[in-house]
Amino acid sequence: MLKCRITAAALASLPAIFAAAPALAQYSDNAIVIGVLTDQGSVYSDASGTGSIIAARMAVEEFGGKVNGVPVELVSADHQNKPDVGSAIARQWFDKDRVDVIADLPTSSVALAVQELAKQKGKVSLVSGAATTALTGKACSPTGFMWTYDTYAFSVGTARAVFQEGGKSWFFITADYAFGHAMQADVARLLDSVGGKIVGEAKHPLNSADFSSFLLQAQSSKADVIGLANAGGDTSNALKQAAEFDIGRGKQRLVPMVVFINDVHSMGLRVAQGLNFTTSFYWDRTPASRAWAAEFEKRTGKKPSGPQAGTYSSVRHYLKAIEQAGTDDGAKVAAAMRAMPVNDMFAEGGKVLRNGRMVHDMYLVQVKTPQESKAPWDYYKIIRTLPGEQAFMSEKESGCPLIDG
């Protein structure tokens, strides 16, 4: 019979050994793995894409590449704006590649699919690029977060301002998928509440090249406002073609609901000048945002968009929550994220609601004229700050099933 002799010294050391074991086990695979799932080659690649990957890397670098001594790794992939592709990548990441959290997620249909999968796996999702309010409404998740903006915030800021200036009747040119539908529905609710109306609509597929027929249909409607419920390259193409037809320069206004600074840069101030819209982020707003944007520009050659800045902020907050919780367990990290305020170059005094919505100020801006702009990327005048409590829906209004009564 094999006998084992345990010394008194060994016995004395056992409590310390066993006390240390749970702490070591708090980090799965002894690594924190962040996946940035984005659009790297299509309609949202300029506003998200490689820039979002770099923004996430900047957040990781702030922590020295480690949290509580545990290394942080970063992986990325292109979801091609297809929910099945995004879901397949996310499943591979969660099941085989040790990924703990997925960030960015432009395209609402992809974000909805990945957030649901992350919920099933007990993983965290950080949506920065998508905008449908369903993500914090009927499809909300205990481990899902929506960081940068949503269709409600855009409609409250832009549509209300335009209505107050006489834009009572609207014709919508709408991207025919979850985001576009949500945007038009949110504006419709707002207009109905103040006495406005939508008199017509035209839906287009994602990544459309030709908007001429939609624009001419909208022009002939005689609506006060032609609203664009699309984003990224679709918005840029529609605005450029509207300028060619001289649509939106007279009594009938052309109002894009989602514009990124990359879009303005692509269009040029001659086309974009005078546009009013709501934005989540402007690089030249504070000393902190200017400093961060300068470093981002060194790496990319461009100033950051809202989704890119939001990706940085959400990943940074996630890592702070891991540091606080002492674990990468999805449920525990999500609880820590909700408990901590958000204070960084993106948002001051941000608050994470129970439905995952990060509430922060939004900004109504106007694009400068070529004469007003003093330097490259000097594009916006901030007309009004929209307090977060007014810009976003309350927990109760959201319809999230996680919220009691």
> Are 110 and 177 contained in the same domain?
no
Average pLDDT, the chain: 92
Cα separation, 313 vs 315, in Å, equals 6
Q: Which residues contact 344 (CB under 8 A, 6 or more apart)?
A: 288, 312, 313, 316, 317
Same domain flag for 184 and 269: yes
Range of the domain at 102: 29-149+285-360
| Residue 302 and residue 276 share a domain | no
2 pLDDT higher than 60 = no
Question: Of 360, 379, 400, which one is at a domain's C-terminal end?
Answer: 360
- Where is the domain boundary, 320, 340, 360? 360
pLDDT in tens, 74-113: 999 999 999 999 999 999 999 999 999 999 999 999 999 9
Answer yes or no: do 211 and 318 share one domain.
no
> Rounded mean pLDDT of 222-240?
94
Query: Do 259 and 376 lie in a common domain?
Result: yes
Question: What CATH number does residue 262 fall under?
Answer: 3.40.50.2300
Task: Classify residue 23: in a domain, yes or no.
Answer: no
Same domain, 45 and 129: yes
In 3D, which of 375, 149, 156, 391 has the Cα closest to residue 281?
A: 149
The answer to the question of residue 386 being in a domain is yes
Give Cα separations from 231 to 52, 174, 353 (angstroms): 16, 10, 26
For residue 11, pLDDT over 90 is answered with no
d(CA 360, CA 389): 8
Q: Note whether residue 216 is domain-resident.
A: yes
Task: Determine what percent of the chain is predicted with pLDDT higher than 70.
Answer: 94
The total number of structural domains in the chain stands at: 2
Does residue 5 fall inside a structural domain? Answer: no
- Which of 39, 37, 54, 74 has its CA nearest to residue 301? 54
- The answer on 367 and 326 residing in a single domain is no
Question: How many Å apart are CA 49 and CA 43, to the nearest integer?
Answer: 10
Residue 29 has what pLDDT? 85
pLDDT of 16 > 80? The answer is no
Examine residue 130 and state whether it is found in any structural domain, yes or no: yes
Residue 70 shares a structural domain with residue 159 = no
Same domain, 318 and 380: no
For the CA atoms of 212, 214, 218, 220, the dihedral, rounded to the nearest 10 degrees, stands at 60
Neighbouring residues of 274: CB distance < 8 A, sequence distance ≥ 6: 366, 367, 369
As a whole number, mean pLDDT of residues 113-126 equals 98
The confidence score (pLDDT) of residue 405 equals 56
**CB neighbour burial string for 326-347, b if at least 16 within 10 angstroms, e if fewer:** bbbbbebbbbbbbeeebebbbb
Residue 37 confidence (pLDDT): 98
**Within-domain flag for 213:** yes
Own/partner long-range contacts of 118-121 (Cβ < 8 Å, ≥24 apart): 118/90, 118/94, 118/143, 118/144, 118/330, 119/143, 119/144, 121/94, 121/95, 121/330
Element (H, E) at 144: strand 144-146
Q: What is the pLDDT of residues 297-356, one digit of tens each?
A: 999 999 999 999 999 999 999 999 999 999 999 999 999 999 999 999 999 999 999 999
CA dihedral for 292, 297, 298, 300, sign (positive or negative): positive
Q: Is residue 343 part of a domain?
A: yes
Residues 212 and 141 in one domain: no
pTM of the model: 0.90
Whether residues 91 and 199 fall in one domain: no
pLDDT band for position 196 (cuts 50, 70, 90): very high
Residues 308 and 278 occupy one common structural domain: no
Is 57 a domain residue? yes
Q: Which of 122, 94, 85 is nearest to 105 (CA)?
A: 85
β-bridge mates for residue 173, sequence order: 202, 228
